[in-house]
Amino acid sequence: MDKNANIKRLKEIDHELVLYQNITALLGWDQETNMPERGVEGRSEQLSLVQGVLHDKITSSEIGDLLEGLGASEQQPSGDSSFSDPERGLIREYFREYNREKKLPKKLVQEIAVVTSKAQPAWAAARKSQDYSIFQPHLEKIVELTRETTKCLGYKDHPYDPLIDQYEPGMTTAEVARVFNGVKKDIVALLTKISEKDQVDDSFLYKQYDSKLQDDFGRKILTDMGFDFQRGILSESAHPFTTGVGKDDIRITTRYTEPSMSSSLFSTIHEGGHALYEMGAASPELKGTSLGTGISLAVHESQSRFWENIVARSDDFWINYYAALQELFPAQLSGVTRDTFVRGINKVEPSMIRVNADEVTYSLHIILRFELETALVNGELEVKELPEAWNEKMHDMLGIVPGTSAEGVLQDVHWSAGLIGYFPTYALGNLFSAQFFETLKQEIPEYREYISSGNLIHLQKWLNEKIYRKGGIYTAAEVLQQVTGKPLDPSHFSRYLEEKYTRIYGL
């Protein structure tokens, strides 16, 4: 076949594989939200079957022949330069995925699907009963399979490299460690200054807030952000998440079980940021293709963090929304001024639970997990030692120790899903968001007026033009360079935190 025929055929295969991926996402969404407890066994078989089919198709000789015919190689992963940017992006992604999956035995891929499907309910049961021993054998198997995966994929410097590369292509363990060490130093210095000041009051956030009214308020904000409820839904789950199960079917979840009203609200806004990216990436040119999604998890997380923290935790945001919130909850917010409320939702205090962590200490939670994961993968730490290691790092980094395993090692769902290598993207997302924000401020000088008047759609349009609609055409590094004019620079995030919390705490 000639090159035009090759690219046409690759697009046809891509469309089919995306449908299989959508099926997998739907099965996962259902397991998290609706599936009965005894459905685990059947669901694990279903996921194993679909993952096996995907593996067979992505590693087929036809894919290899097509990529070769398109000029893809290690030196030129995007293929022949005569193709359009979207076509070169598609070739690049398939070249990367083909070479990765080709190294993984089908049996290993299917075993991971079965093991993780059974591990999720075991994790939930362990977390509920605060008994790590229930989950430990499942996690031991997951870590064993993860180590086997790294051996199959190969690595030059660290066995964690191919794991983080799966979620943040091009990123290495050494680079993450370098960036995190610098950020950690800045955060600890800021925390020290904050600890010397009087603590803000947030007691009003821990009263009884009707979940139905919270849901109504969250949906109003999502709508103002640009969330299209004809293309997306909001549901509840034990752990908030976003998933796409179709080109016009983006699903997000939140939870209303936390002691603080703000954790539920900001979880909704956070997942809404992810959803906006997915909706924007499904542009007519990219809809239904593997490029119709976010380019990397760090860039994806930058969008959820932008909406949750930079926008929704700002004083400007509540100029428009606080009166409406007070009207919904007059008793709970009686006598609470807008300034007091804003200070309350930005309270900085070391806490046990990552998803409830404040904006300053959040990255320390991620650095802790990164250090534990790298130790698990390279064999320096065994699964049975994980609870003690977790508690020691919590004490060293945050000065607190979990009272139960549910507050500590069992709090996240990610390991039960086999997502080792995923966590660093959360903190990297903070860095991306602050750097994108610097450019937005320069290009939309009236951004504060838009936020304070509730005209959030202006921000969504800018993000859609600069980031969302590009989907997976370009790499994360290329998108960051295109938008901000420079590579990743952690100083933007450190400066953003310093300026914001100097105002809040009068540093």
How, if at all, do strands 249-254 and 232-236 pair?
parallel
Find the helix or strand (DSSP H, E) in which 259 lies. Answer: none
Q: In what order do the strands lie in the sheet with 249-254?
A: 232-236, 249-254, 242-246
What is the spatial distance between Cα 448 and Cα 260, in angstroms, rounded to a whole number? 27
Can you tell me the distance from the alpha carbon of 317 to that of 484, in angstroms, rounded to the nearest whole number?
Answer: 24
Which position among 93, 101, 168, 271 bears the catalytic label?
271
User: Residue 273 has which token pair?
Assistant: 């940021």
Q: What is the dihedral of CA 26, 28, 33, 39, to 10 degrees?
A: 110
Reference 297, options 438, 154, 165; nearest CA is: 165
**Nearest residue to 128 via CA among 406, 408, 412:** 406
What values do phi and psi take at 226, rounded to 5? 110, 10
Burial code of 317-340, b = ≥16 C-beta within 10 A, e = fewer?
Answer: bbbbbbeebeeebeebbeebebee
DSSP string, 205-258: GGS---HHHHHHHHHHHHHHHT--TTTEEEEE-SS--EEEEETTEEEEEE---S
Structure tokens at 1: 């076949």
* Nearby residues of 164 by Cβ (< 8 Å), 6 or more positions away: 171, 172, 173, 176, 421, 424, 425
Length of the chain as a residue count: 507
Closest of 388, 397, 407 to residue 366, by C-alpha: 397
Sequence-distant (≥ 6) Cβ neighbours of residue 73 within 8 angstroms: 95
Closest CA to 304 of 371, 211, 244, 240: 240
Say whether 168 is catalytic.
no
Phi/psi of residue 424, each to 5°? -55, -30
Residue 272 CA to residue 279 CA, distance in Å, equals: 10
Q: What gap in Å lies between CA 204 and CA 340, rounded to an integer?
A: 10
Helices (H), 226-347: 261-281, 297-305, 315-328, 338-345
**Residue 71 to residue 456: CA distance in whole angstroms:** 43
Residues designated catalytic: 271
